[in-house]
Amino acid sequence: MNPIRNVLAATDLSDNALPALKAAAQLAELFNAELWVVHVVPPVDVAHEQLLREARDKIAERAKAALNEACRELKKPPVPSNVILEQGDPATKIHEACKRLNIDTLVAGTRGHGGSDKKTMGRVAERLAHTAACDVLLVRPDFKKGFSKICVAVDFSAPSLMALERAAELARAYETGKLTLCHVVHIPDDYWHSGISEKETLKRMRGFAKEHMSELEAKCNLEGLKVKEAYNEGSPALELANLTKGEGADLLVMGSHGSTLAASAVIGSVAAKTVSAVPCSIWIETDPGFKRTFFTALGELMGL
């Protein structure tokens, strides 16, 4: 599990993005981490460069004011914080800042200036989820004071074990006392080769899931938490969305990859679909070891 020492809040200073700034300040407070705030100004043509330079100070002051407002609700004094301004493509500049500042956790809103539908995922948020090299917390606009109902997606892979450990840590940090473990029973397309009926296959897979859920729980420190198990059958991404909605969850913790690690360089196919489908905030726990292995292999293929 990755440490939480440096938190970066990415914001466009819109009303939809300010709850994410509040969540980042609270996260930094809970883990005694340093907080960075980055605001990216879109590129402008040469004719407007002078106007942008004149506006930078005002933008910086507005960002600092928003940060101060977010820190005002903290129980402790404001966390160490820094505001930086960048110019260019938002997702690209945010990733560059994460690498330069050795960020452990990137926090961003699911919506910004780009859309009014608060239930959907914005384009920049999706890009960040798909390409970030650190843990990512995507915060819905309805975030207020913390996370009280936390779910974790479990498929018994190594990344889901990391996600469970993180979810337990967050449940303690936010003092929820509860944690719901969500698993989707998904029948492989070629199950019929076994000669077993669909009904019997589902029965066996559900039994397998419950057995391995107990084994997984035994590997994690869940002491002091009230743990609930929830199961659905069907499409993993869709049913994870249904489970989190049914549990009234305000945060879903998930691994960046599941049992099909090769699906994508940074985020697996199920995780990618889940990001768009779930109706709550999402924490994506990354596996730096996997990324290093993937990019090393990619570099060798490209002769780098």
Express each pLDDT in 85-136 by its tens digit.
888 888 889 989 999 999 999 999 986 444 444 455 667 888 888 777 889 9
Q: Which of 85, 106, 139 is the last residue of a domain?
A: 139
Domain assignment of residue 171, yes or no = yes
Domain assignment of residue 60, yes or no = yes
Which burial class, exposed, middle or buried, applies to 207 when counting CB atoms under 10 A from its CB (0-12, 13-18, 19+)?
exposed
Residues in contact with 37: Cβ distance below 8 Å, sequence separation at least 6, in sequence order: 8, 9, 11, 21, 24, 63, 67, 81, 82, 83, 84
DSSP one-letter code for 229: E
State yes or no: pLDDT of 198 exceeds 60.
yes
Domain assignment of residue 1, yes or no = no
What is the pLDDT at residue 227? 94
Return d(Cα 48, Cα 60) in angstroms, integer.
Answer: 18
State yes or no: pLDDT of 60 exceeds 80.
no
Phi, psi of 175 (to 5 degrees): 55, 45
Same structural domain for residues 98 and 169?
no
DSSP one-letter code for 47: G
Nearest to 253 by CA among 158, 186, 182, 184: 182
Q: Picking from 10-19, 29-38, 197-206, which range would have the lowest pLDDT averaged per residue?
A: 197-206
Q: Specify the higher pLDDT residue, 267 or 229.
A: 229
CA atoms within 13 A on the CB side of 23: 32
* Mean pLDDT on 214-232: 90
Same structural domain for residues 122 and 211?
no
Q: Which of 117, 139, 161 is the last residue of a domain?
A: 139
What is the pLDDT at residue 259? 47
Return d(Cα 126, Cα 156) in angstroms, integer.
Answer: 25
Q: Residue 106: which domain range?
A: 6-139
Domain assignment of residue 23, yes or no = yes
CA atoms within 13 A on the CB side of 43: 8
Output the average pLDDT for the chain: 79
What is the pLDDT at residue 294? 44
Q: Name the pLDDT band for 292 (thresholds 50, 70, 90).
A: very low
What is the pLDDT at residue 203? 81
pTM: 0.82
In angstroms, what CA-CA distances link 159 with 12, 23, 279?
31, 24, 22
Number of residues in the chain:
304
CATH, residue 41: 3.40.50.620
Same structural domain for residues 12 and 114?
yes
* Token code pair at residue 98: 């994460």
What is the pLDDT at residue 265? 38
Same structural domain for residues 154 and 296?
yes
Nearest to 17 by CA among 105, 122, 101: 122
Q: Are 141 and 104 a contacting pair, CB within 8 Å? A: no
Same structural domain for residues 129 and 250?
no
Domain assignment of residue 145, yes or no = no
Q: How many domains does the chain have?
A: 2
**Residue 143, H or E segment:** none
What is the pLDDT at residue 295? 43
What is the pLDDT at residue 302? 42
Q: Specify the higher pLDDT residue, 240 or 188.
A: 240
Q: Which of 139, 167, 187 is the last residue of a domain?
A: 139
* Mean pLDDT on 133-159: 90
